[in-house]
Amino acid sequence: MKEQEVILEILGMHCPACAQRIENSLSKIDGITEAKVNFASKEAIVRFNLDKINISKIKASIKRAGYEAVEEEDFSVERRREALKRKLLLFFTGLALTIPIVVITYFLVFPGKNLLLLVLTTPVQFIVGWHFYKGAYNSLKNRFADMNVLVALSASAAYFYSLFSTFFIDGVVFYESSAIVITTITLGMLLEEMAVEKTGESIKKLMELQPKTAIVMQDGGEKEVSVEEVEVGNIVIIKPGGKIPVDGIVVNGHSFIDESMITGESIPVEKNVGDTVFSGTVNEAGTLKFKAVKVGKETTLAQIVRLTREVQASKAPIQRLADRVVNFFVPIVIVIAVGAFTIWFSVFQNRTLALTTLVSVLVIACPCALGIATPTAIMIGVGKGAENGILIKNSEVLEVVKELDTVVFDKTGTLTRGELEVTDVVTDDKRKLLRVAAVAEKRSEHPVGEAVLKKAESEGISIPEPDSFEALPGLGVATRFRGMDILLGNQTLMRNRKVAIGKLEEYIEKLEMEGKTVLIVAVDGKAVGLLAVSDTIKDYSKEAVKMLQEMGLKVIMLTGDTKRTAEAIARQLGINEVMAEVLPAEKVEEIRRLQSEGRFVTMVGDGINDAPAITQANVGIAIGGGTDIAMEAGDIVLVKDDPRDVAVSIKLSKKTLQKIKQNLFWAFFYNMLTIPLAAGILYPSLGILVRPEIAAVTMILSDITVVGNSILLKRWKS
């Protein structure tokens, strides 16, 4: 099956119900495997089988639903601005006509008053309000009821009753109600759209990081090309102050790169030959040449944008519940409105109040607040994470995180650097011992030997070639150099070669208790010193463990190391529970065992060796250091190689869920409180609420409250 993905900009959406309607329509089409439509970003992400359907047919389907679709490369800021200008023109046209309608209705009396009101109201009803009628038609055509249906019904009821009163009966007219409802809700939609636009700023900022051009080496010279023309293997030149166009490996030069836009890390990162650079980051100092290794949609920046878009378009279980409520909500509201009309008209013989309650209930109950409660919070929460190098790949994780009680860390590469390092040198002459040890290990391919050589080189020690070299598996190495016999290895090697350790034994015991590998150095049969080698703890691992423990979470370390080594590192980190000597294939079984004990587990690992365990956990967190993001198994990917972000990601997820719940509470509370009042349950004491214009303003305030509450999430700090 040839599966393809397309991102489409959707024009003409007025509320979250529009997005749901398009999504439902696309999901029913044979060949479309998945469709996610996001009202806040005005985007649809569609996966489809190219053998069964193409992009043109997808666009045609969206058009049949009453909307227009534009492909990603045709996205246009100008187009959005033009659409906004048209909406503003409609609003001001409505306002210019509504003001005199209100003044004439409430303050003037003269012959032909109703006819003049009819003339002024008709353009508002059918020009300014045309998009409500169009939306209602498309909704009903697709067997769906949304805000457009309610507005069209309420405004039409007021307008056509007034029209009937003007020509056929001597009754009260409600032209001002119709005009105020349409103009006010048009304004509300404008305000809501502008507010919702703010929730998608993180994606826009990320997309703007991608430079349009790149300078590449071509035919012995430099040539500026569009970023789309850069190919894997090209040598790209980046000058001071320039944005890096694609991911690559530095082949020449030295500089400092500002990676804050990708990782959230404010301190520029030093780059030398062999280091990786990422698209969208800024070169601060020297000129660099680098080999392009990932271009186009494969770059780290492109993957971050794609993952962030996908989760913002996805629906958390709590959102699906809200969608189901909205589906039933509109028909229920219509029943309540008709019921209120019938009671006031038939029982109380109050024709004016009957029509007023009908219109007010229909207006005040528009379900926009319910529809945008979840997506606006997710847009900002997920965007906030992306800005700080935390990629929440699945919106469902937001609801699962609150249940977590146990965090399991893989040790190597997660809590520790994953590289052996010489941590201690025990001798009278450090430089001399390091030189002797480095000569002994010069021809070794063992990671311990690499650590010794790296330490000697960092001290500026020259390392000559040994005269002979012998690797002794499980013991160490034996080397001859300028007449000296050098041994470097463990206690067993020294016992086998009858080398007395003497006073060094107490140091060996102490270092081994700290979980370090001890190397004894002997020259001509005499022990002259010790080197201790260890996989060192990352700078912020201890702080990360403490943060999680302060959140009430149990922290466990999972490793293949020996129990003694693992417990020594755990003590340094403040971790009380260790699962040691666990083979990579056994890690997933350990996670299952914890889950069988009733624990809700998050597994934190590098996303490669730990992928099965990360997938098995209730929440998987991949700490990837910014590479191969799309390949990681986690529900959450940490771009920075910083274990503190585990706690930050959990806090952010909980805060986002809290905002969703607050939004849904206010949306439900608002409707439960205002619908009965609009129906006249407390009339006449609160009769002011039984007015269409008041209902329209109140409905708009509920939408703005929900969006505003979501925007407050932008101020969140870990």
Q: Which of the listed CATH numbers 3.40.50.1580, 3.30.70.360, 3.40.1110.10, 3.40.250.10 matches domain 418-537?
A: 3.40.1110.10
Confidence check: pLDDT of 418 > 60: yes
Assess contact for 333 and 664: CB atoms under 8 A.
no
Report pLDDT for 626. Answer: 41
Q: What is the pLDDT of residue 202?
A: 65
**In 200-257, where does DSSP find H-type helix?**
201-208
Instruction: Give the lowest-confidence range in 295-309, 434-448, 579-593.
Output: 295-309
The answer to whether the beta carbons of residues 13 and 131 sit under 8 Å apart is no
Per-residue pLDDT at 207: 74
CATH 2.70.150.10 fits 231-294, yes or no: yes
Q: Mean pLDDT across the stretch 425-432?
A: 92
Burial of 109 (0-12, 13-18, 19+ CB in 10 A): exposed
> Residue 98 pLDDT > 80, yes or no?
yes
Q: CA 167, 172, 177, 179: dihedral to nearest 10 degrees?
A: 30
> Which of 212 and 318 is assigned the larger pLDDT?
212
Confidence of residue 583 (pLDDT cuts 50, 70, 90): confident
Which range has highest mean pLDDT (299-308, 470-479, 601-610)? Answer: 470-479
Average pLDDT value for residue range 574-599: 90
Q: Tokens in use for 76?
A: 């246009």
| Distance from C-alpha of 617 to C-alpha of 407, rounded to nearest angstrom | 10
Distances 289 to 11, 250, 546, 607 between C-alpha atoms, Å:
42, 6, 41, 30
Mean pLDDT of 54-69: 88
Nearest by Cα to 408 from 562, 265, 564, 597: 597
Kindly tell me if the per-residue pLDDT of 630 is higher than 70.
Answer: no
Domain range 391-416+538-645, CATH architecture: 3-Layer(aba) Sandwich (3.40)
Q: Is residue 73 scored above 70 in pLDDT?
A: no
More confident residue, 383 or 596: 596
Residue 260 has pLDDT above 90, yes or no: no
CA 445 remoteness from chain centre: 42
Residue 472 in contact with residue 489, Cβ under 8 Å? yes
Q: Which of 146, 410, 561, 635 is catalytic?
A: 410
What string of H, E and C letters represents the secondary structure of 672-715?
A: HHHHHHHCCCCCCCCHHHCCHHHHHHHHHHHHHHHHHHHHHHHH
Q: What is the pLDDT of residue 555?
A: 97
| Range 231-235, long-range pairs (CB < 8 A, 24+ positions) | 231/292, 231/295, 232/292, 232/293, 232/294, 232/295, 233/291, 233/292, 234/291, 234/292, 235/289, 235/290, 235/291, 235/292
Looking at residue 72, what is its pLDDT? 65
Q: What CATH architecture does domain 3-75 belong to?
A: 2-Layer Sandwich (3.30)
Q: Which residue has the higher pLDDT, 447 or 555?
A: 555
Q: Please tell me which residue, 156 or 82, carries the higher pLDDT value.
A: 156
Of all residues in the chain, the percent with pLDDT exceeding 70 is: 94
Distance of CA 69 to the CA centre of its chain: 24
Distance CA 116, CA 135 (A): 29
pLDDT at 74: 59
Instruction: Write out the DSSP string of 336-368.
Output: HHHHHHHIIIIIS--HHHHHHHHHHHHHHT-TH
As given in the structure block, the two tokens for residue 316 are 């958390």
Strands of the sheet containing 235-238, edge to edge, are 221-226, 213-218, 235-238, 288-294, 247-252, 276-277
> Which whole number is the average pLDDT over 396-421?
88
> How much of the chain exceeds pLDDT 90, in percent?
37
pLDDT score at 627? 42
Q: Which residue has the tokens 């309540």?
A: 336
Task: Determine the pLDDT at residue 77.
Answer: 62
Our answer to whether residue 645 is catalytic in this structure is no
Answer for the pair 376, 197: CB distance below 8 angstroms, yes or no. Answer: no
Average pLDDT, whole number, for the chain?
86
Least confident stretch, 245-254, 500-509, 657-666, 683-692: 683-692
Which residues face 537 on adjacent strands? Answer: 416
* β-pair type (601-605, 406-410): parallel
Confidence of residue 629 (pLDDT cuts 50, 70, 90): very low
**pLDDT of 488 above 90:** yes
The residue-averaged pLDDT of 497-507 equals: 90
pLDDT at 696: 80
What b/e sequence results for 143-167 when a residue is b if at least 16 CB atoms lie within 10 Å of its CB, and e otherwise? ebbbbbbbbbbbbbbbbebbbebbe
Q: Which of 430, 426, 424 is nearest to 460 (CA)?
A: 430
Query: Distances in Å between the alpha carbon of 238 and those of 208, 241, 529?
Result: 18, 8, 48
* Residue ranges covered by each domain of the chain: 3-75, 80-201+308-379+658-715, 231-294, 391-416+538-645, 418-537
